[in-house]
Structures are given as C-alpha cells and as structure tokens.
Structure 1
C-alpha cells in the first residue's frame, strides 16, 4: 500500500473515530434550573383553561390543542378573526393560557397548540423528521379551519418556528404573523450564549449529526442535543430535552436572514426590554440592516416569560394583532 493511500485511510479512520466519539460522548450537559423561567408560572390560576382537543395529522397521530372561543358581546358579537399560538421551547399549550384567554376576551377565536414533541402531542422531545412540524401546522389548518383573518403567534423558539413557516412556501396558511421575542439562531444579533442559561447544547454531537445529515444520513437524529434549565417539578410536566430532529425543526431556517426576506405576509415583533434570554435591543437594528420594515415594540420592564403572562405585554400583543388584521 502506497504512503499516499495509507495517509488517506488513516485520515478517514481518524475522522470516523472523531465522529463516533462526538456522537457517543458529545451530548449536552445538565442545565441548572433557571428561576426566572420556572418561577413566573407559580400561582397562576389554571381553572378556566379549556380541555385538550385533537386534530388528525397525516401520519395518523392525534395532536393536541386548546380552543378558546371568542367571547360574546364583543364587537357586536362578531368574531374578529383567529389567532394560533405556538409556545416556547420545552413548554406546551398551557403556557399560553393567559394570552389565549385575553384574545378570546378581545373577540378572537384562539387556539393554543401542543407542538409535536411537547405536551400531549406525540413522544416528548423528538419528532420523526425535520419538516414534520410544518406538515403538522398545515394539517391543523386543514382540519380545524380557523376563521379569517388568521394570525400565527409564536413565542421564543416558537417564534423562530413561526418565522420558519412565515418565510416558507406555506406562508399563505395565515394572513398575518406575530413574533414574540423570537429565537433567530446562534449567529443572530439578539443571541445570548446558551440563551442566558436556559439551554445546554451538546455542540460536538450537533456538529457530528450536521455532518451526517449533510451526507443524507439521518438515522441518528433521535439523539439528544439540547437540555433545558427546568426544575425537578417542571421536568416531569414539560419537555426537558430535544433530539436533533426537534431542535433543528423548532427554529427558523439556518439562513434566518433569507427566511425573513422571504416573508410576504404582514409581520410584527414584540419583546421585553429586560429579556434575560435574548438581547432584544438588537432585534430592530437586525431587521433594519436587512431592509425589513416590520414594526418592533420593546416593552420596558418585561422579561422573557413575563412577555406571555403580564397584562401590559398581553395587551400589546392583542393591539398588534388588531393592527395586523385591519
């Protein structure tokens, strides 16, 4: 065997060993509980939360959502449209209860989804393939047919996923889009390392799986790549970790800037000035650098989770949808 061939064989062997080591030992470390994410939900009254409803997905799964019908005696008893709410990472439809209830009181039909891999929709922490979440969203619209104008609202990672939909060929599923402190990716100007402590990522495993997927090998995409900073009680109720498939799908496209440029429907952004997960003061400059004129509202004194819980923040979201739906 020639020296050149020996070198190539050795290089390939070393690469395979490094990939195997990254896959086996390069997963995420545990994430210490983050009080500012866990604590705001304590003491919330869930008594008026509607039960789960189900819709059929194309693979036969029955996926979950909660329906908050528009309350009567609002706007001359006329439903003003609908909102479809997408929760943040690790969460479920329950986390959007206060916001969904407020939209119902404002005259909108509100639907809070359990995104597949969360809550009561499928196996927690994973999905079958990248792109399944968009398929599920299309199946939801076909099965439930929310009233027009329909606005899709996403919070945090859910905001990143809503952006993914808004910039895709399926953006016509909704009339408008609202992003609440959206996760845009690790290269975006609003990114904080580890999302301010909320996430621990297995970077070696992420890189190895990305390489394999670039070679059209997805058999190991069920491996865990993200852990979330949940306390012990929340771990039993929510989704404490994500597989590569779910982490890759529940966010914008990798080229988030092009994802934004592709959006043709009305879109707005709201975030809190005191957000500990993202640098929200960078959202508007990022958009303006790309020549995107979406309205951006930064609310003083509002942190990450309070954006979905505090009355002033919820009122700002309702007002934004009112303007988008005009």
Structure 2
C-alpha cells in the first residue's frame, strides 16, 4: 500500500520558471536554421534532426553531432551549430526522442532507447569522420553515457559541455539544480525498487518537472518520465563510465555556471582516474551562455579542432588514392594501397 501511494501521489511538484535558463534565449536569432529532417528508428518512429552543410566543402572537416540539454530541442543549439558550420564542419542537431518533434514529449519506450536511437542515426546517416558527439548539460551526461559504453566506438571524439554527472557528484549545486528540476522523490525511489526486481510497468510515470515558462513557440518539455530521466544521463556508476572512455574527450564549463560547480570537474575526473581528459573553464560565462556566447562557442570549436588534429595529420600524410573512412578508421590513416596491376 505504501508503495502504491508513492506511485500515485509521490510525483514531482510544479516549479516557477527559472529566468537564468530561459532569459538568455530572448536575444537569440534563429534565422538560417535548416528545416527538420527525420530518420526512422528501429521501432519505426520518425525522429527529427537538423543538418547543417558547409557550402561547397562536401563533408567539410568532419561532423559534429549536437545533443541539447534537458527540456530543450534542436533549436536551442542553433547558435553553436552555426559556429561549427562556419568552421567547416557538417553539423547534426537532434530533437532527442521525447523532445521537440521526436516521439511523445517526455517519454521513451524503455530505458536505454536513446542509445539505440543514436546508433540507428549513425547507421542511417553515416556522418563524415572524424565524428564528434557533443552534449550540453543533460545532453553532456548522455554523451558521457555513450562514451563510456561499447557504443562509444561509433565516434572519434567527445565534448561534454557543462555536463550533468550525477545528483551526488561534486559538480552538482544541489540548491540550484532543485530550482531547475523538481524531483518526485517518493515515486522515484519506488520505481528504482520496482526496476531492481524486474518490474518496468510504471516507467512512464513522470518523476521530473522543469522550471520552464509557458511558451508554445519554444516547444519545451515540462516533464520527464522515469524511463526518459534514467536514459538521458550517465549511469549511477559514472566513475566507471568515465574510466571506460576510449576516445579523445574534453570537458567545458562556464566559470559562472548557475547549476554546476565549474571548478569541480577537474577533481571529479582525477578522482575517476582520468587526469588526461582536459577541462576548459570559460571566464564570465554561465550555464546557458556557454552555448550562446561567442567565447563559449569559440572554445567549443577549438576543443573539437584539438581532438581532430591527430586524425587530420594522419589523413594529410596518406596518399589520396589510398584514403578510406571505413568504420574503425578513427584517428588512423586508413591507407589502402590499390591492387597491383597485372603485368600482362
């Protein structure tokens, strides 16, 4: 009876809009934003994304895939996408399932479905290499989830911008995070216990409410189901996930981030055994402005260019007829000599 009561009445409370999250977008211009396209996921659902193509450069310098933060959609990373486009990259900006025009808002079909969706996208679109998966905020946590799993091999680099790590992580400002997301703790705990014994029946119940304003044009998500909340973040064993990252990766944060402690990413990575993963702290920059400000966007482009450098050097040294971007060629000049001509 107690668990049933928690499931029914233990949901998240509504929150007033958090101005530090919403206000920075008031001055953003969305002209030049490409139309939405779709790919079909393995369950038959059309999922939306935007593709930015560098003019006259084919696949350009490679590709960058952008994962928005909690409640958002592909619109919210448009300024960042433009910066990468101007630097010569092909850019893909997703409406992650449960957001924007992808599926039912606030819902996924099962825990881990977002990982499957990303794999389906890469298989369908075959983004140019080198491939970078870039995630912001909760999207950064999702990118970390992917990077620390076997599916990280689909990508050549990872950039985590102000990533959400875990509610117990040293980077988390608990008070500020509570102002952005209300957690239905009683319901959440009940669902955790049910899933531990193999009962996912109620995973569609909402466990998070976000402090977003009513704005139909913004197309924001107000609630996350348990399944979406768990899918769009690192695993509870986030330290092990960080240790398992096998591709080049960097972390960025704004010095004035309102939700996370920017100066705690470095010790967190060190504690997880990854002192080799660089951390860039952008001065005079907040959480949302990390993806909107010229300084934040320039730092993101510079980080990807640094990670791409070994790939580009090897590629330049490879004779043009021998070049291959076959799967597995990440950060390697995959030189394939042409077959010898017959002497006859």
Which residue number corresponds to residue 128 of structure 1? Answer: 109
**Aligned ranges for residues 192-203 of structure 1 at < 5 Å?**
192-193=173-174, 195=177, 197-203=179-185
State the SS of the aligned residue for 1:225: strand
Does residue 298 of structure 2 align to residue 315 of structure 1?
yes
Task: Tell me the distance in 2 between the aligned counterparts of 1:192 and 1:227.
Answer: 17
| 2:143 counterpart of 1:162 | yes
Instruction: Give distance in 2, aligned partners of 1:130 and 1:169.
Output: 17
Distance 1:159 1:89 in 2: 10
2:233 to 230, 241, 251: 251
The one of 294, 302, 315 equivalent to 2:277 is: 294
Residue 59 of structure 2 contacts residue 128 of structure 2 at CA under 8 Å; is this kept in 1? no
Matched, 1:69 2:53: yes
Q: CA deviation at 1:78?
A: 7.1
- SS of 2:284's partner is coil
Unaligned runs of 5+ in 1: 1-16
The residue that corresponds to 1:284 in the other structure is 266
1:59 aligns with 2:43: yes
Secondary structure of 1:247 counterpart: helix
TM-score using structure 1 length: 0.92
Matched, 1:153 2:137: no
CA contact (8 A) 2:240 2:272 kept: no
Does residue 190 of structure 2 align to residue 217 of structure 1?
no
* Cα deviations by residue, 1:14-70 (Å, 9 ceiling, x for unpaired): xxx111111111100111110010111113211210000111100011100000012
Match of 1:30 in 2: 14
How far 1:291 sits from its partner (Å)?
2.3
Quickly say closer, same or farther: Cα 1:236–1:154, change in 2 above 3 A: closer
Counterpart secondary structure, 2:27? coil
Query: How far apart are 1:234 and its partner, in Å?
Result: 5.8
Q: CA deviation at 1:290?
A: 2.2
Quote the residue 1:3 is aligned against: none
The answer to whether the aligner puts 1:96 opposite 2:96 as a matched pair is no
SS in 2 for 1:142: helix
Q: Distance in 2 between matches of 1:318 and 1:200?
A: 33
User: 1:71 deviation in Å?
Assistant: 3.4
For residue 235 of structure 1, report the CA deviation from its aligned partner. Answer: 9.0
Alignment of 1:227-246 (within 5 A): 227-233=209-215, 237-246=219-228
Question: Residue 208 of structure 1 aligns to a residue in which SS?
Answer: helix
Per-residue deviation, residues 204-226 of structure 1 (Å, max 9, x unmatched) = 10000000000100010000000
Give the Cα–Cα distance (whole angstroms) in 1 for the partners of residues 178 and 258 of structure 2.
6
1:170 aligned counterpart, secondary structure: helix
After TM superposition, where is structure 1 displaced by more than 6 Å over at least 4 residues in a row?
none
Matched-pair contact (CA < 8 Å) for 1:22–1:208 = yes
Q: Which moved more, 1:126-135 or 1:286-295?
A: 286-295
Equivalent position SS for 2:195:
helix
Aligned to 2:119: 138
Q: Does 1:108 align with 2:89?
A: yes
How far, CA to CA, are the matches of 1:196 and 1:72 in structure 2?
46
Question: 1:187/1:235 Cα in 2 relative to 1: closer, same or farther (>3 Å)?
Answer: farther
Judged with a 3 Å threshold, the aligned counterparts in structure 2 of structure 1 residues 235 and 200 are, in CA distance, closer, same or farther, namely: farther
TM-score (norm 2): 0.87
